[in-house]
Amino acid sequence: MRAYARGMATRLLLLADTHLPKRARRLPDEVWAAVDAADLVVHAGDWVETSLLDELEARAPVLGVWGNNDGSELRARLPEVARRTVEGVRMEVVHETGAAQGRERRCEAAHPDADVLVFGHSHIPWDTVSPGGLRLLNPGSPTDRRRQPHRTYMTATAVDGALHELVLHRMEGPVG
The pLDDT profile of the chain, 176 residues, written as one tens digit per residue, is 565 555 689 999 999 999 998 878 889 999 999 999 999 999 999 999 999 999 999 999 999 999 999 999 999 999 999 999 999 999 999 999 999 999 999 999 999 999 999 999 999 999 999 999 999 999 999 999 888 899 999 999 999 999 999 999 999 876 66
Backbone conformation region of residue 71, classed left if phi is above 0, alpha if psi is from -120 to 50, else beta: beta
Burial class (CB in 10 A: 0-12, 13-18, 19+), 2: exposed
- pLDDT for residue 146: 85
- Would you identify the CATH topology of the domain 2-171? Purple Acid Phosphatase; chain A, domain 2 (3.60.21)
Domain map (residue ranges) of the chain:
2-171
